[in-house]
Amino acid sequence: MSLTTDQLAEERVRLDHLFSTPPGFGRLAAVNHSVIGLRFIIVSLVFFVVGGLLSMLIRAQLAIPGNEFLDNAAYNQIFTMHGTVMMFLFAIPLIEGLALYFIPKFLGARDLSFPRLSAFGFWCFVFGGSILLVSMFLGVAPDSGWFMYTPLSSGEFTPGINADVWLIGVTFVEVSAIAFAIELVTTVLKVRSGGMSLSRMPLWGWYILVTALMMVVGFPPLILASILLEIERAFSWPFFNAALGGDPLLWQHLFWLFGHPEVYIIFLPAAAAVSMMIPTFARRAIVGYNWVVAAVVATGFISFGLWVHHMFTVGIPHLALVFFSAASMFVAIPTAIQFFSWLATLWKGRPVARLPMLYLFGFLFIFVCGGLTGVMLALVPFNWQAHDTHFVVAHLHYVLIGGFVFPLLAAAYYWLPLISGKAPSERLGKWAFWLIFIGFNLTFLHMHFTGLVGMPRRVYTYPEGLGWEWLNLVSSIGGFVLTIGFAAFFLDLVVRLRAGPPSPINPWQAGSLEWSLDHPPATYNFAALPHVTSREPLRDQADLDQQIRGGEGYLPTARNGWQETLGVHPLTGRPDQIILLPGPSYLPLITASLLAVFFVGFLLGAYWVSALGAAAALVAGFRWAWSTGLDRDWHKQDAGRELVLPLHAQVHDAPGWWGMLVGLLVNGTFYITLLFGYLYLWAVAPEWPPESFVRTSLPAVGITLFAVLAALFGFHRAVKVNAGNASPVSALILALAGGLIATAGLTMQLVNDVAEPTSHAYAAVTSFLLGYLTLHAFIAAMMGIYALLRWRAGFISPLRSLDLRVIRLWALYTALVTLIGVALVHGLPPLLGESA
């Protein structure tokens, strides 16, 4: 459909009104992906400044031997918070902000699949980060290291709330990361422009998809570990207490199941930016697109087989050392494939020397050095010598600053014209680069040598005569030069944003979709959603940018007050639905605020306040869910390009269904990690399981299993009878009854069949497992009530069955984990000939 100039202007006004953020206090209700993405970026940069200031305090303390600038207690808090801020409050949130801002623009969409979920994640990040930040000013900041190893972080050796601040604050921030992961996986799979198959998707989309899936699998182990340790500290359940059947090394396994993949979670989005910038400046398409995609996927898989890389000195079996050492070296192969692709693209292209390329060359040099030291640390004999020294600290910073910060500095200059409409500066940007590059290498190159001559990490001072003096002094001088370089970079950005000259459209002559947008982009991104036929549509499809601006494409007009974007088949990119997006809402802020009440109440030991916060958050979540969906059937709608499509609430694979599927993958990873901890303690801890700590009540077990299967059958039956235009009420009542009876049966087992959780780790982990199952059965029952109310209110019909199908997924998962959990608790001890 072709629009006249006047019609196009009117449609732009309507779209801007629909997608814009309300003024004043209404900004707190913002859900637009550009607004939320920029907020993530700005707040993460504030935390970067905080983390940088903390690092300067560390370098000032270590500049000379015997320094009394900081005492031991203050230093422990500072180095713990430096690592925590940089890893959890800067690196990951900055990735989230960049992905949230750019993914719809790269994929040809108007927004993300769940805009309110992104806003909820932002507020969780702000509140969780605030808990950690405020603790510094109150003198109760975490002081056990950013990895919180037990037993040092247990209540016996770290009294007070310092460790609790870390556990509560980081867990709250991780809720934000999980929301981000669900959002991005669903968006990349379902919310793309027409014709954009996976094979035509820009590499940015592939990198972000793999990164988000890694977060789905990698973050639940840390959340579980934090919950277990907080319960141990608060209620004396001895998960990590060796004297009562626990094992401190369980924490290390759980932490590094998260920690090592996190390195690649941080690196891959930066590599994504590199993969978008290098083809632009080389003036040709990326060499080996398919190889790069395969390498990214391989990196994601291999990264989860490396966690023991950090535990070579704890006394694990020799065969395990060999396996994890080999895996740690093997991961260099897919990384090398990406590097050779970038170099080959430059070699076969016609490179243009612009400011972002300077930072990219700095990245290539520094990250290769960090990768080489990583291979050195993968060798067990060398690892034994360098473990827990400053050599490891230097390696970590070469990988993270070289592999993450330098590419993002390049990206800042590269995408500055798009975000702000202002052209970047060459002169001050080059000064900033050389100060950062020289300062970085002065700081961390010498730290390798400091470690090789024996300086352990985390010491707050050292005596003279050990050969560490001049190395530490040079590192400290370099640290301040590095700080000056970052200050110059931020000054340059501020000057450009406030007084820089306007930038032309697509100043770099790039081929990806985001450069077809206004500079800065409109709130709705695309006046009409494009149809894509290649990987670099702006280069390969003549006048595509003019067609988009002229309203030639999908969904060119606003109607019914709907915020619309296109939904596609996950593999082929064929348009299959029109997704209706929610508008601004205070519900994300309200829900996150109530969760903050829960977390802060638990932190302060006011458990009744915590319970009220959890209950109120549940009510807010119910209200949030109620605000979705359609209350009547709609015919298929004109989508443009002679295509008519159904609304997303009337199709079988709507974003909500995919979101629940990804959410259950997160949940399943949490559950599998819990089972790993249960079986690990069984295998490692002595005298496991102790006699008579878990009894089997066959009636309760039988009733529980029958009830949870009845609930699943009820929800499945409700979907079937609803599709046949019959009432699903009786099936939903069966599902509700099954959920409630299963909850009661699991509660009986928890109360009557398990010994006091404080008596032994076996009782503690069994109680936690049964509590997990009880919670899921209760939620299934509440979903039954919700479905009955939704059907009564007219939100469910034979055509609109999304609610029922989403709930059925939860019921299926609940039945599966209950069968496995009950079989493990009551069946494994007799099977192995143990008393139970």
pLDDT of residue 833: 62
**Interatomic CA distance for residues 483 and 478, integer angstroms:** 9
**Interatomic CA distance for residues 120 and 118, integer angstroms:** 5
Query: What secondary structure does DSSP assign to 85-117, as a single string?
Result: IIIIIIIHHHHHHHHHHHHHHHHT-SS-S-HHH
* Residues 323-375: tens digit of each pLDDT: 999 988 999 999 999 999 999 999 999 999 899 999 999 999 999 999 999 99
Mean pLDDT of 749-771: 94
The model's pTM: 0.96
Computed over every residue of the chain, the mean pLDDT equals: 95
Q: How confident is the model at residue 1 (pLDDT cuts 50, 70, 90)?
A: low
Mean pLDDT of 6-21: 90
Q: How confident is the model at residue 541 (pLDDT cuts 50, 70, 90)?
A: confident
pLDDT of residue 829: 80
Amino acid at 110: R
Structure token pair of residue 497: 């944003």
On whether the CB atoms of residues 101 and 33 are closer than 8 A, the answer is yes
Measured over the CA atoms of residue 550, residue 556, residue 562 and residue 565, the dihedral's sign is negative
On whether the CB atoms of residues 479 and 443 are closer than 8 A, the answer is yes
Structure token pair of residue 242: 């060796």
Q: How confident is the model at residue 834 (pLDDT cuts 50, 70, 90)?
A: low
* Closest to 785 (Cα-Cα) out of 722, 727, 720, 740: 740
Q: How confident is the model at residue 491 (pLDDT cuts 50, 70, 90)?
A: very high
* Residues 671-689: tens digit of each pLDDT: 999 999 999 999 998 878 8
pLDDT of residue 578: 97
pLDDT of residue 836: 42
* Closest to 98 (Cα-Cα) out of 418, 526, 397: 418
Percent of the chain with pLDDT over 70: 99
487 vs 484, 491, 494, 617, 698, CA distance in Å?
Answer: 5, 6, 11, 41, 68
Amino acid at 383: N
Mean pLDDT of 468-495: 97
**Interatomic CA distance for residues 152 and 525, integer angstroms:** 50
Burial 380-405 (b: 16+ CB within 10 A, else e): beebeebbebbbbbbbbbbbbbbbbb
Q: 368, exposed or middle or buried, with CB in 10 Å at 0-12, 13-18, 19+?
A: middle
**Residue tagged 């300077």 (tokens):** 358
pLDDT surpasses 90 at 239: yes
Mean pLDDT of 456-479: 96
Q: Kindly calculate the radius of gyration of the chain based on its CA atoms and give it in whole angstroms.
A: 27
**Residue tagged 């009562």 (tokens):** 244
Provide the residue ranges of all domains of the chain, joining segments of one domain with +.
689-831
pLDDT surpasses 60 at 774: yes
Please provide residue 560's backbone torsions phi and psi, each rounded to the nearest 5 degrees.
55, 20
CATH architecture type of domain 689-831: Up-down Bundle (1.20)
* Residues 810-826: tens digit of each pLDDT: 999 999 999 999 999 99
Q: 581, exposed or middle or buried, with CB in 10 Å at 0-12, 13-18, 19+?
A: buried
* Residues 720-747: tens digit of each pLDDT: 999 999 999 999 999 999 999 999 999 9
pLDDT of residue 830: 76
Mean pLDDT of 298-316: 92
More confident residue, 549 or 768: 768
pLDDT surpasses 50 at 545: yes
pLDDT surpasses 80 at 645: yes
* Closest to 324 (Cα-Cα) out of 378, 375, 257: 378
Alpha helices in 142-282 (DSSP H): 162-190, 203-235, 248-282
On whether the CB atoms of residues 799 and 747 are closer than 8 A, the answer is no
Measured over the CA atoms of residue 359, residue 362, residue 368 and residue 373, the dihedral's sign is negative
